[in-house]
Amino acid sequence: MQLDNIKCERTKLDQSIVHHCTLCGSSDRSLLFDKGRHNKVVHNYICNNCGFVFILPRPSAQKHQDWYQEGQFSSTERNLSAPDDAKFAVRESIARSRLKILERELGESLWSKEISKSVLEIGCGTGDFLRLMRGCGWDVLGLEPDLAYTEAVKERYNLPIHNQFVEQFDTEKRFDLICSFHVIEHIDDPNVFLANIHQLLDDEGYLYLECPSIDRWYGETIDFFFWDVHINTFSQNTLEAFLAKNQFQVMSSGWNGHGLWVIAQKTKMQNLRVNWDNSQRIHRIVQQATSQSKFASNNSLVTRASSIVARGINLIKTEPLQIPIKVREKIQRRFHIPSNISNLSDRLLDAEEVAIKPLLPNTSTLRVVHVGIHENTDNGGDTLLFPSVRWLWQKHLAPTDFTLSPLRGKVTQETIDEINKHDALIIGGGGLFLSDTNSNNLSGWQWACSTQLLDKIKVPIILFAVGYNQFRGQSEFKPVFTKNLCRLVEKSAFIGLRNHGSIEALKQYLPESLHHKLIFQPCPTTLLSRFYPGIPPKTENKEQIVSVNIAFDRHHLRFGHREDEILWNIAESLLLLKEKGWNPVVFNHSPNDRDAHLWFKAKGLILDEVNLFRVPPQTVIEEYSKVSLALGMRGHAQMIPFGLECPIVSLISHNKLGFFLNDIGHNEWGIDISNNNFGSSLPEKLDFFTSNVEIAKNQIFQAQNYLWQITLNNLETINLCM
């Protein structure tokens, strides 16, 4: 009753406000909807003449300015006074989708080569879109009213950001492109906003907008869509009408998720056709949405479950490798999906199927739990790594029946009970000692097993070829890590670390009495040619393929403020290789690695690409077996080709690459991207290796002999522990 009284009073107040529609000038309006996100009373009115939707009463200019400039919007609605790593990651993914649209619409004109082009982003937030545009060769500038966000973006990306609104921005510079994503719905007067943009654009410059639209409202209920900070709500028709009114010719439009995007060109034409929307059409959308919302609130669980099942069935049919095999088989049986859709007899085995059982049937076996990443993952190196551990074990330790346990799954008493039914627990390999992946307060590293549960494990614990994986400049481990690591080392039968650098790093967290338990155990991917089945026979490679892997996970830690310089240096070096008859091919271990093409195309370098994520382990081996020289930034973009006896040049952006080269006595095979002379040193190093491939192969063979003997000795030690 009290809420109804508030609504009634608000409605009377709103109706008494003299307000002329900012699109058509009419004062004829009606209440469209009176609820909003967070159970707030939000009065959205619709202009009965043109269909534009707006909130009344409007916030005062001062309140509106303070709300965004003093960080109230970020702390209240974003729940973050400043962006954290998770926020940056989400916005980065969205920035990629927006750039992909721009790339499609602008074509080759997106890449600035001879002519410098400039872009301004209004309300740039975390700056991720500007970072990508700068990589494409554009001069970039951002406007962001929130000071905390402005400073965070400057620190992370070294982007030029002005802490102000576009209405306050004064410059004689004119821009080729102005972008603004999910800002115009917050603006008091879209006409003033668009007029400022029109003035700042160069003649025939482009405006790239994105905003929510009533045509594709989002959220479980329409109440969620209507948000009190969105003081304007556009349909596609009303947004395009505002653009035409302010001398913008719409070139293309579409949807990016739930966001309506429009690319429009500045024009001097005064009489562009302005088409209003139909207010009754908007009313019908809201009425239908209200009915759907009521139904959804009563049936949300059923609706969500049905949606998940439908998506799962579709995924089984279209991309079966993304579904774990046991889940896939259950869905196939339950919904009568023919097995030949996704389970062809001649298909390559998924990672979770490789080396699970002994090579020979009816063999006396060990029963071992293997903690790892057991799927065709978004990281091609990990996809191959964990099957490699099992193959090595099966061939050179003992016939084993493996039970797979997810590295990043929840560890409970039931997990420990299952482990204790086996003969041993093997964890690894991989860079498991990393603080920000599967971040938790139980262990502080990727396997979130608390010290209390760790103490309940009764079988031998084997850590095999695991590594210290912290990035340069990364935040320290949580306090719980030291205690958990100490207990893990005390309790484990074998602690095998994949490089001596990891041994020295972990000693800092352990008492000296435990240092002796840290043993060097190379990653099995560095020894693939010695034990892994199905490696293609070596043939003369006339294509002279150079695999090129550029890693973009935690790129701000890898590159610092020199990202553009470093990546353009790499592009220029690869252009020189092409001139000499070599064939550089980009090997993407992870989806984010595909970003490299943006920086490369800015230098006129267009390369073929091989995607090694979400593929079977054998695919990773087959692709690297074609390579004559491997230029890699990820650890496994270095170790896998080395394991296949292919010469490597390591782009050191993480200490682990240097650790490996130091272990095999070939630091000259790497180049640290932080070196001031990186741009001149890389072409020289590549030139040396392309001229001395056979010498490098002989050195690899000798280095592998050293690592192989260490591994065989360690396997004997482990066998005694069993």
Q: What is the mean pLDDT of residues 119-123?
A: 98
Q: Two tokens at 643?
A: 């394991």
> What single letter denotes the amino acid at residue 224?
F
**Range of weakest confidence among 87-91, 480-484, 582-586:** 87-91
Q: Which helix (H) or strand (E) holds 679?
A: helix 678-691
80-294 shares its CATH topology with 351-528:
yes
Which of the four pLDDT bands, split at 50, 70 and 90, describes residue 567?
very high
Q: Which CATH number fits domain 80-294: 2.60.120.10, 3.40.50.150, 3.40.50.11540, 3.30.230.10?
A: 3.40.50.150
Share of the chain above pLDDT 90, in %: 81
CB neighbours of residue 720 within 10 Å: 9
Asked whether the beta carbons of 673 and 658 are under 8 A apart, the reply is no
For residues 593 and 570, what is the distance between their CA atoms, to the nearest angstrom? 14
DSSP one-letter code for 213: B
Superfamily classification of domain 534-709: Glycogen Phosphorylase B; (3.40.50.2000)
Which of the four pLDDT bands, split at 50, 70 and 90, describes residue 309?
low
Q: What is the pTM of this model?
A: 0.89
Sequence spans of domains, the chain: 80-294, 351-528, 534-709
Angle made by CA atoms 381, 386, 388, in degrees to the nearest 5: 90
Which of the four pLDDT bands, split at 50, 70 and 90, describes residue 71?
confident
- Neighbouring-strand partners of residue 468: 433
For residues 480 and 497, what is the distance between their CA atoms, to the nearest angstrom? 21
Q: Two tokens at 582?
A: 């070599």
> Is the CATH number 3.40.50 carried by domain 351-528?
yes
Judged by DSSP in three states, 251 sits in: strand
pLDDT of residue 329: 53
pLDDT in tens, 664-674: 999 999 999 99
Q: Is the pLDDT score of 304 beyond 60? A: no
Which of the four pLDDT bands, split at 50, 70 and 90, describes residue 60?
confident
Q: Is the pLDDT score of 302 beyond 80? A: no
- Interaxial angle between packed helices 279-318 and 325-334, expressed in degrees from 0 to 180 and rounded to the nearest 10: 110
Q: What is the mean pLDDT of residues 293-300?
A: 56
**Cα→Cα distances 409→367, 368, 371, 372, 418, Å:** 20, 18, 10, 10, 14
Which of the four pLDDT bands, split at 50, 70 and 90, describes residue 323?
very low
Rg (CA), the chain: 29
pLDDT in tens, 523-540: 999 999 999 999 998 777
Mean pLDDT estimate for the chain: 91
Asked whether the beta carbons of 610 and 585 are under 8 A apart, the reply is yes
pLDDT in tens, 76-94: 777 778 899 999 999 999 9
Q: What is the dihedral of CA 641, 643, 647, 652, to 10 degrees?
A: 70
Which residue is listed with tokens 């070829």?
465
DSSP class per residue in 264-314: EEE---S--------HHHHHHHHHHHHHHHHHHHHHHHHHHHHHHHHHHHH
User: Which among 664, 659, 673, 662 is positioned nearest to 631, based on CA atoms?
Assistant: 673
Q: What is the mean pLDDT of residues 611-632?
A: 97
Asked whether the beta carbons of 635 and 654 are under 8 A apart, the reply is yes
